[in-house]
């Protein structure tokens, strides 16, 4: 389902006689009966695909930074034209293993960042900003 750009939700229940006044968070999820999986589509807003194509035609690199599962993110990114043949997708866990200087060197290879935290987002932005500095050394119009 994730490869088809669906978000996957697990469904389970617990038979209880009475609703307790207080719910213990460490025990409430024990003894659940698994019912199944549901695939939910969360389609991109109207006009997003066209906006991404416009950016691409203008020479602007568009990336996706998301909390979604990597398979879901890649499927959506392919559908929108963000993830091409020569671009890569990476997870937050994989980012954790890459030193910042290596990320800065390789950042343009990536178009999809999945399962990322706010800390990952900061690293990603810093890495993209580092490419701007090298660009500005070569072009007078870059500010």
Q: Which pLDDT score is estimated for 44? A: 87
- Same domain flag for 24 and 65: no
- Same domain flag for 36 and 83: no
The 10 Å CB-count burial string (b at 16+, else e) for 102-113 is: ebbeebeebbbb
Burial class of 119 by CB neighbour count within 10 A (0 to 12, 13 to 18, 19+): exposed
- Same domain flag for 8 and 55: no
Q: Which pLDDT score is estimated for 129? A: 94
- For residue 10, the surrounding DSSP H or E stretch is strand 6-13
Across the strands, what pairs with 114? 91
Whole-angstrom CA distances from 93 to 69, 90, 104, 133 are 12, 8, 17, 27
- Same domain flag for 29 and 54: no
- Same domain flag for 54 and 19: no
Residue 143 lies in a domain: no
For the chain, the average pLDDT equals: 89
- Same domain flag for 12 and 74: no
What confidence tens digit (pLDDT) does each residue in 86-117 have? 999 999 999 999 999 999 999 999 999 999 99
What confidence tens digit (pLDDT) does each residue in 8-65 have? 899 999 888 888 788 777 777 888 999 999 999 888 899 999 999 999 999 999 999 9
- Same domain flag for 132 and 108: yes
Q: Which pLDDT score is estimated for 141? A: 43
Neighbours of 58 (CB within 10 A): 7
Higher pLDDT, 85 or 121: 121
136 pLDDT higher than 70: no
Q: Which pLDDT score is estimated for 135? A: 55
Residue 52 lies in a domain: yes
Q: At what angle do helices 70-80 and 48-57 cross, to 10 degrees?
A: 70
- Same domain flag for 29 and 57: no
Q: Residue 15's domain spans which residues?
A: 2-41
- Same domain flag for 58 and 96: yes
- Same domain flag for 62 and 26: no
Q: What is the rounded distance in angstroms from the CA atom of residue 23 to the CA atom of residue 104?
A: 46
- Same domain flag for 16 and 72: no
Q: Which pLDDT score is estimated for 65? A: 97
């Amino acid at each position: 389902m994730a490869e088809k750009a669906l978000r996957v939700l697990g469904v389970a229940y617990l038979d209880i006689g009475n609703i307790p006044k207080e719910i213990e968070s460490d025990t409430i999820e024990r003894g659940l009966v698994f019912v199944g999986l549901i695939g939910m589509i969360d389609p991109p807003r109207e006009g997003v695909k066209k906006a991404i194509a416009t950016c691409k035609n203008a020479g602007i690199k568009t990336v996706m930074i998301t909390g979604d599962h990597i398979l879901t993110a890649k499927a959506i990114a392919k559908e929108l034209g963000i993830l091409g043949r020569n671009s890569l997708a990476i997870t937050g866990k994989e980012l954790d293993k890459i030193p910042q200087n290596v990320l800065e060197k390789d950042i343009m290879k990536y178009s999809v960042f999945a399962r990322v935290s706010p800390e990952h987002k900061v690293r990603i932005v810093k890495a993209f900003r580092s490419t701007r500095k090298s660009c500005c050394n070569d072009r007078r119009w870059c500010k």
